[in-house]
């Protein structure tokens, strides 16, 4: 059943403020607030479990507001999900408030692209976190293939996470992130090491949320990664990748999509989503 639209109280804040207590309650983190690698690992894993990846507002033609106030009210107060600029913006402010040395980076997505295809625009936000003398790639907004742990920029060797194994190799303008799937290295994205200011994400966010060629303007896309499994919904296809088990794929009806959004992705289904869900079920 479709639930009624949440009547939530929005919070007004300046562009650098974040309510740490509200964020930590949202992701279920009750550990240390010291700026250590262990703290970073715990927050990253809990974040991608608790806050789903989704771009439903893009399909509704609402656009994506990436100001601090809008992101906090959507992801924390309204308990919605978001895509990379929302996830990354929120986590950047959280980590900075704790005391981490963190900067925003921009990446060129190569995931699922054809070999030798034209390079796409830079459209993905990630973070670089400096802890003592080491730099770490931290990403909580890449959907179904999001890394589940910080990855060191200081090595080209494979780096294991509790899901897949990744590696960061030198590229023409930064580093290429690759993931090992079925025994083959697959490109994920090429990330520039040049620090981006908040204003630098405005244009790629606008492109990603409005351009007809953007994948987010074409399909219902939702993802969540738990310690045990990855769940992704693309239109009406639900994919479940559990550790050490065979890949599952299911084609869903309208009612099943609604239940998946609620039960798997922890989203309160808004009546305004009905038309999107019906369209997805017909794909």
**At residue 114, does pLDDT exceed 80?**
no
Confidence of residue 17 (pLDDT cuts 50, 70, 90): low
List the single range of 8-17, 127-136, 211-220, 232-241 with lowest mean pLDDT.
8-17
- Examine residue 252 and state whether it is found in any structural domain, yes or no: yes
pLDDT at 210: 94
pLDDT at 248: 95
- Examine residue 14 and state whether it is found in any structural domain, yes or no: no
**At residue 9, does pLDDT exceed 70?**
no
Report pLDDT digits (tens) over 30-56. Answer: 999 999 999 999 999 999 999 999 999
The share of the chain scoring above pLDDT 90, in percent, equals 83
**At residue 192, does pLDDT exceed 50?**
yes
- Examine residue 6 and state whether it is found in any structural domain, yes or no: no
Catalytic residue status for 145 = no
- Examine residue 15 and state whether it is found in any structural domain, yes or no: no
pTM beyond 0.85, yes or no: yes
pLDDT at 5: 40
Read off φ and ψ for residue 271, nearest 5 degrees. -55, -30
Side-chain-side CA neighbours of 55 within 13 Å: the count stands at 28
CB distance 218 to 279 below 8 Å: no
Catalytic residue status for 87 = no
Catalytic residue status for 7 = no
Among 82, 54, 5, CA closest to 220: 54
pLDDT at 16: 62
The residue annotated as part of the active site, out of 47, 57, 84, 87, is 84
Q: What is the CATH number of the domain that holds 195?
A: 3.30.2140.20
- Examine residue 5 and state whether it is found in any structural domain, yes or no: no
Q: What is the 3-state secondary structure (H, E, C) of the chain?
A: CCCCCCCCCCCCCCCCCCCHHHHHHHHCCCCCCCCCHHHHHHHHHHHHHHCCEECHHHHCCCCCCCCHHHHHHHHHHCCCCECHHHHHHHHHHHHHHHCCEEEEEEEEECCCCCCCCCCCCEEEEEEEEEECCEEEEECCCCHHHCCCCCEECCCCCCEECCCCEEEEEEECCEEEEEEEECCEEEEEEEECCCCECHHHHHHHHHHHHHCCCCHHHCCCEEEEECCCEEEEEECCEEEEEECCCCCEEEECCHHHHHHHHHHCCCCCCCHHHHHHHHHHHCC
- Examine residue 8 and state whether it is found in any structural domain, yes or no: no
- Tally of domains within the chain: 1
- Examine residue 7 and state whether it is found in any structural domain, yes or no: no
List the single range of 66-75, 116-125, 156-165, 208-217 with lowest mean pLDDT.
116-125
Q: 263: which 2 tokens?
A: 């039960």
Farthest CA pair distance, the chain: 52
The residue annotated as part of the active site, out of 139, 145, 163, 175, is 139
pLDDT at 175: 96
CB within 8 Å of 157: residues ≥ 6 apart: 167
Read off φ and ψ for residue 234, nearest 5 degrees. -120, 110
The residue annotated as part of the active site, out of 47, 57, 87, 124, is 124
Neighbours of 112 (CB within 10 A): 10
- Examine residue 261 and state whether it is found in any structural domain, yes or no: yes
**Average pLDDT score over residue span 130-143:** 96
pLDDT at 8: 45
**Average pLDDT score over residue span 142-161:** 96
- Domain, as residue range, for 152: 20-281
**At residue 126, does pLDDT exceed 90?**
yes
List the single range of 1-5, 23-27, 113-117 with lowest mean pLDDT.
1-5
List the single range of 3-7, 123-127, 136-140, 168-172 with lowest mean pLDDT.
3-7
CB distance 99 to 35 below 8 Å: yes
Report pLDDT digits (tens) over 64-80. Answer: 999 999 999 999 999 99
């Amino acid at each position: 059943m479709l639930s009624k639209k949440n009547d939530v109280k929005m919070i007004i804040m300046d562009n650098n403020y974040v309510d740490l207590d509200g964020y930590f309650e949202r992701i279920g983190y009750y550990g240390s607030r010291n700026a250590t690698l262990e703290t970073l690992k715990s927050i990253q894993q809990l974040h991608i479990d608790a806050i789903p990846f989704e771009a439903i507002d893009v399909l509704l033609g609402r656009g994506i507001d990436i100001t601090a106030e809008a992101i906090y009210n959507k992801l924390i107060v309204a308990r919605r999900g978001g895509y990379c600029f929302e996830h990354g913006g929120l986590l950047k402010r959280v980590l900075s408030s704790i005391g981490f040395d963190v900067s925003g980076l921009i990446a060129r997505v190569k995931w699922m692209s054809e070999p030798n295809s034209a390079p796409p625009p830079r459209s993905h936000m990630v973070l670089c976190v400096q802890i003592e003398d080491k730099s770490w790639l931290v990403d909580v907004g890449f959907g179904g293939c999001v890394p589940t742990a910080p990855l060191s920029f200081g090595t080209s060797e494979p780096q294991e996470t509790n899901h897949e194994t990744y590696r960061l190799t030198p590229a023409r303008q930064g580093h290429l992130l690759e993931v090992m799937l079925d025994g083959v290295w697959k490109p994920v994205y090429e990330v520039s090491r040049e620090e981006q200011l908040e204003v630098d994400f405005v244009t790629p966010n606008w492109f990603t949320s409005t351009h007809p060629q953007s994948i987010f303007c074409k399909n219902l896309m939702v993802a969540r990664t738990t310690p045990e499994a990855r769940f992704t919904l693309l239109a009406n296809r639900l994919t479940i990748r559990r550790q050490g088990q065979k890949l599952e794929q299911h084609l869903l009806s309208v009612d099943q999509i609604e239940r998946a959004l609620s039960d798997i992705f922890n989203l309160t289904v808004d009546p305004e989503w009905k038309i999107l869900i019906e369209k997805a079920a017909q794909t």
